[in-house]
Amino acid sequence: MSPLPSSPRAVVFDLDGTLVDAYAAIHESLGVVLAAFGRPPVTRDETRRMVGHGLEMLVAKAVGDENVAEGVRLFRERYERVGLEGTRLLPGAESVTRSLFERGIRLAIASNKPARFTRPLLEAFGLSGRFGFVAGPDDGFPPKPAPQMIFMALATLGVSGRDAVFVGDMPVDIATARAAQLPIIALPTGSATRKELEACSPDAIVENLEALLPLLLAS
């Protein structure tokens, strides 16, 4: 485990399950893919448990490796239509990112969601100006838990790893932080339960975004 910096200069966030709830849009888009290949539908909860490792991995889980290319095309086509209306900010996302930004803490997003979907969402929610770096695997980075997105985020923000914290909702986020040698604060607000997160030994677990501020603004 890594000690949390008492006053971090940068916070790198995951997106889905951490700052936004996009499961309705993902579930609808995945349903189109399943139907196209004659597969039975899955529940919203099953969709929630499948996500987090990138779009190609999600589609492969749903319809098999041999159908990934066409499945990804179908998913993207549907998600382009329903992504915004099927996504909402999680409680505290607006106020917490605003508080951090106003305190001069640099913010970034490193997500396995394609950045082509992330950037319009941030713009629509009025958050894009707060993030100095936003990336996904479609920007040429290997998906998390590979740490390259984190390294580029810190380089872009001009902050060293010892002055940064990663915030996410899944074991893959904890693994990513460990690979990047960043402390990790986990939230049970997305695809993983608190018990599953505890089993991965994050540096801290908080129940919601608002509870981040006492940790990050301790000074």
Q: Between helices 55-63 and 68-82, what is the axis angle to 10°?
A: 120
**Would you say 138 and 116 are in contact if contact means Cβ atoms under 8 Å apart?**
yes
Which residues 6+ apart lie within 8 Å of 104 measured at CB? Answer: none
Active-site residue (options: 14, 16, 21, 173): 14
Tokens of 94: 């607006």
Helical spans, DSSP H, in 64-143: 68-82, 93-102, 115-124
Q: Between helices 23-36 and 68-82, what is the axis angle to 10°?
A: 140
SS3 content of the chain, % helix, strand, coil (to 5): 50, 15, 35
Q: Is 14 a catalytic residue?
A: yes
Task: Give the chain's largest Cα–Cα span.
Answer: 56
Residues belonging to the active site: 14
